[in-house]
Structure 1
Amino acid sequence: METSVKGCMEFLDRFCLCSGQKINVEKSSFMMYFKTPITLINTIARITGYHHKANHMTYLGAPICDRQVKIIYFNDLLAKIRNKIAVPKKVLNINSAWKVGQGNTSFWHENWSNRGVLVNVFAEVEPQAPISLEEAAEVNFSITGMSDAMIAQMRIWYDSRLKSDSDERLWAPSPDGRFMVKSDFSLLSNQGPACPLARHYWAKFIPKKISVLLWRFLHNAIPVDVRIQDCAISLASGCLCCVHRNIESVDHMFLSGEIAAFLWDRLAPLFGIHRTKYRGLREFIAAWFNVAHRKSQMGKLATLFPMAIMWEIWAERNRRRQDESPSSMAAILYKVLQWVHNINPLLRISNHSPGMLHHILRVCKLSPTPVRRKPPLLLRWSRPPPGFCILNTDGASSSQGAAGGGVIRDDRGILLAAFHSFYRSGSNNLAETRALLDGLLLCQQLGITNFIVKVDSKLVAGWYNRKCSIPWHLSLWWQRIREATGNLNINLKHVYRELNSSADCMASLGLSSRSNCSITTDFPMRLVGLACLDRLGMPYIRLGYKYYSFSKMLLKCLLKAWTFYLGETNPLCEN
């Protein structure tokens, strides 16, 4: 046995000598069968210098034993796992929300109110003992250490909680409340500022390999000789794209090298760009991307040309690095133009180009791509069926806050009521949702049971008609909407913004005044004018995606002309 152990140690010594690695004797150990004589164990320990482990030993973090495995052997491993989980658990608690069912969640340490973890919100209160939300609700939140104002706030938050059949944890950063690795990664990672050129070089019509090359250039990740030298690697530099070998840097190879200069000087002047006026490649590429609107044909060509040139320069450099036969200047230019010829028919154009585009197309032998526009639509407000009213609602949001508004009209188009509400901070979807709820509640107050609802938000229409899932943070408001419409047969439809201009007028008024108001008489002048135009059948013209509203002066002129044509009188037109 002693000879075998010495042989193993000699092998380990040779391994250390060949590999350059060393064995840490202090961290090394061995284990024997539990019936092994103590004299043999002492002999092995003396020869090796390793520690003897009696019951179990740890290898790569996991316990090894020769008899029955015990839970205590895994304590060190479990402690490491707990420490690893501690940080993500903290992130999970901060970014969690809850739908409350039985209330078995922690009252202090879970975000059941969806307004923050209470132990952080009320940091001045020291929790006396663990307590669940159900237990806190049973005592009506009369908990030791909490002031009367806190208790009243708890009761309000509990009444406005998200309800469910069972307790359900929601992932707050995700709209549907489901955990997504992408959203978690965005929380844990440090995100840098967005690149202003990204929307150009990541365009769908650009092949991804070309987009990645430009991304690598912007992040200094193209392995030219100078970049490799920056990594403390000794390297003799010589640009393979030049007859007279210059130092191979990014700016030299892609901007001032012989191949680059030939390609840029042939193609850049067509777009009104001259290479010699720019100090570096980044500034030069940015000039290309700003030649024309990025959704015009000229703008897309000005994005494609420089990226195709850079790709072919890089491809030619790599071919020469691999000792392949070099291509001529004319052949490289042909490859660049071939990229453009293949991609140009696939472009989808929505904006017009400057007049110089025709010269570019003629020189490069490219075909013009027509601008795709939706045909104009002639829209008119339609009256509801006899005996029905119509409710229009709309939401508005800005940096100043969120607001909603709406109008109720009868089957003749006469204004019955209007409202606007200010919701403080919030998104446009929140404003649209709360405006719908306020409009439904106003109809209930007025005793209106037969009515049609029209909104200009496709999302709100989809949520109401159960065609798409509702974001968790709007669930409370939609619970109230379902309760308000539970016994009613309401038809909710989506309409264009033009046909919802009266509700938009009230929402804008709520945003500007930052107030709440419901009126049944003395309606705002602008609202009266819009309602009269709708009632008289004045058409709206929708040009593509653009929407044009009426000014006060235009409203008066239109009303005068239209009522004169119809032979009607209108008190708004008397002035």
Structure 2
Amino acid sequence: MNAMKIIRDNTRWVHGNGRNSRILQDIWIGDTPLGNIFQADNEAVNASLSDVAFDIFHPLRSSISQSRMEGLELSSEEDKCMWAASNNGYFTTKSAYNLIRPRGVHRPAVVKLWHNSFYRRASLFSWKILYRAVPVDARISEIGIPLVSCCCCCHLPKTKDLDHLFINSDFAVTLWRWIHPLVSPKVTLHSHITARLWSFVQNSNICSPHGFVSLYSIILMMWYIWKERCSRRFESTHSSVGAIINNIKSSVAHSLSTLHFKADPNSQNLQILLWFGYAPRCSTKMLKLIRWIPPICDFSLNVDGACKGNPGECGGGGCIRDPQGNVHMAFSHFYDVGTSMIAEVRALCDGLRLANYSGYRLSIIYSDSQVLVNSICEEKMLSWRLYKWWREVRSLISQEPILLSHVYRETNQLADALANFALKVRCNGVFWVAHNLPHPCKGPMYIDNSGLMHVRMV
């Protein structure tokens, strides 16, 4: 029974012709079946979506609010059943297991420990420190095993626990003094190693050169302190602090040589990295002059989506222009609550619908969403929530030889202004010819028509 409930709760129907989806028992709108809200006779319980949509005298018409039926659009495609627990809508045992498996405390920052360029054994050991799962003498004594404790990383005998070994031992103190320029002073205020390491993991930005180097150096330092402790205790061998520092710097430098960072470090962080002997490679930025390019023939369609929060209120806009840059038609649609990608794909779908209904022959479509353009061109659906609009876009584009192209945001300002205007007025609008455009949208139109260049860093 629990398995059937999980299946029912995570099954969604994306309607096409409405013949296979039951209007009351299947989830095709919202997150619950309409049968939980509306009461119906036994004969009407199994009615399909198409039965109610095409029969205005159907008994369910009086129960279901008219607003739900007015926005319903059926197509010639078959209804498709989707699995809501996966992003692409396809059922997998992994997604089903993730629904029922027991979960611990969610700590997203721990993912930073598993960077692809980190030494895996060092990352795993740092994870053990966070959960205090390192078998030092104090931890062994806590579980009831009598043990005489003596720190082998100190010149004088001292009781060894996690905090002493990794912070206060003679070996650790020297290493912390060496790494101090890379570490924020707030981190070293913590007297417990778990709190100190966790604070550093939470606040580090491994996408920046300084954050990557500092976190990786800390992880390696913890690992080498433990290796030195084991070597001294079980093998009676000693390594100098200088040798450990050289090993850490060599490992970090090797990982840096395989990475390119998108952003340059600031002058202070760069000076610290150079003092340690690190020279991170960053992507070089170039100036590029760009402008809106009119279509060579027929008409062009520019579309864009806007979302205030993700998810949040979203809208879309677009315009159809001729080779001279004249606006023949524009639209501004409000989509209520959704995600940014829903706004993008719905704006593209609405633009193609309007062009098709109005008889405009499109030669090229411009969108500033690279993800959406790649999804359409490669025929890879992004999410099952987008499927009904994504499917219609693919169908409309395949009817004519239309080129779908990605453009920078600076050359898509008119569509962006129309999308933001939809969020402002919270309603739909279609505008014919340029002088009917909303006042905030006329400026971007004149800039595009003038051929004015925009400067962009790429």
TM range (shorter): 0.7 to 0.9
Counterparts of 1:112-151 in structure 2, within 5 Å, are 115-122=31-38, 125=39, 128=42, 132-133=46-47, 137=51, 148-150=62-64
- Give the CA RMSD over aligned residues: 3.6
User: Deviations along 1:490-529, whole A, 9 cap, x unmatched?
Assistant: 3322222221111011111112221211222342344322
Relative distance call for 1:274 and 1:321 in structure 2 (3 A) is farther
Tell me how far 1:401 sits from its aligned partner: 0.8
Q: Distance in 1 between matches of 2:212 and 2:390?
A: 43
Q: Note the C-alpha offset of 1:313.
A: 0.7
Paired residue for 1:94? 9
Structure 1 unpaired stretches of 5+:
1-85, 545-575
Task: State how far apart, in whole Å, the 1-side matches of 2:397 and 2:61 are.
Answer: 38
Match of residue 247 from structure 2 = 335
**C-alpha distance 231-131 of structure 1, shift in aligned 2 (>3 A):** farther
After superposition, the C-alpha distances for 1:165-187 in whole angstroms (9 at most, x for unaligned) are: xx754211223221134433433
CA gap of 1:235–1:182, structure 2 versus 1, over 3 A, is farther
Q: CA contact under 8 A between 2:304 and 2:347: conserved in structure 1?
A: yes
Tell me, in whole angstroms, the C-alpha distance in 2 between the residues paired with 1:106 and 1:529: 49
* Contact kept in structure 2, 1:288 and 1:302, CA below 8 Å: no
CA gap of 1:367–1:111, structure 2 versus 1, over 3 A, is closer
Q: Which moved more, 1:107-116 or 1:402-411?
A: 107-116
Match of 1:417 in 2: 329
Show the 5 A alignment for 1:220-235.
Answer: 220-235=132-147
Corresponding position of 2:416: 504
Spell out, residue by residue over 1:526-564, the C-alpha distance to the aligned partner (whole angstroms, 9 max, x if none).
4322222222221112213xxxxxxxxxxxxxxxxxxxx
1:398 is the counterpart of 2:308: yes
Matches within 5 A, 1:234-273: 234-269=146-181, 273=185
Aligned length: 452
| Structure 2: gaps (5+ residues) | none
Cα deviation code 1:423-445 (max 9, x no counterpart)? 00111221112112222233345
Match of 1:529 in 2: 443
What is the distance in 2 between the residues matched to 1:383 and 1:466? 25
- The 1:224–1:265 alpha-carbon spacing in structure 2 relative to 1, beyond 3 Å, is same
Q: Tell me the secondary structure at the aligned position of residue 336 of structure 2.
A: coil
Which structure 2 residues correspond to residues 419-434 of structure 1 after superposition, within 5 A?
419-434=331-346
In structure 2, the CA distance between the partners of 1:426 and 1:120, relative to structure 1 (3 Å rule), is same
Which residue of the partner structure matches residue 469 of structure 1? 381
**Cα 1:326/1:270, change in 2 over 3 Å:** same
User: Partner amino acid for 1:172?
Assistant: A
Q: Secondary structure at the match of 2:414?
A: helix
Q: 1:484 to 1:331 in 2, by over 3 A?
A: closer
Bigger Cα displacement from structure 2, 346-355 vs 191-200? 191-200
Deviations 1:286-324 (A, max 9, x none): 665689864333222211221111010111223334344
Q: Do the aligned partners of 2:210 and 2:269 also contact (CA within 8 Å) in 1?
A: yes
Change (3 A) 1:452 1:135: closer
User: Which residue is 2:130 aligned to?
Assistant: 218
Identity of aligned residues (%): 27
Q: TM-score, structure 2 length as denominator?
A: 0.84
Change over 3 Å in CA distance of 1:120–1:317 after alignment to 2: farther
Task: Find out whether 1:207 has 2:119 as its counterpart.
Answer: yes
**Corresponding residue of 1:538:** 452
* SS of equivalent residue, structure 1 residue 425: strand
Q: 1:265 to 1:232 in 2, by over 3 A?
A: same
Contact 2:299 2:323 in 1 (8 A): yes
Distance 1:456 1:343 in 2: 34
User: TM-score of the superposition, structure 1-length normalised?
Assistant: 0.68
1:460 maps to 372
Instruction: Give 1:420 shift.
Output: 0.8
**Quick one: higher RCO (CA 8 Å, sep 6+), 1 or 2?**
2
Deviation at 1:453, TM superposition (A): 1.8
Question: Helix, strand or coil for the counterpart of 1:322?
Answer: helix
Contact 1:99–1:162 (Cα < 8 Å) also in 2: no
Residues 175 and 472, structure 1, Cα contact 8 Å, conserved in 2: yes
- The corresponding residue for 1:74 is none
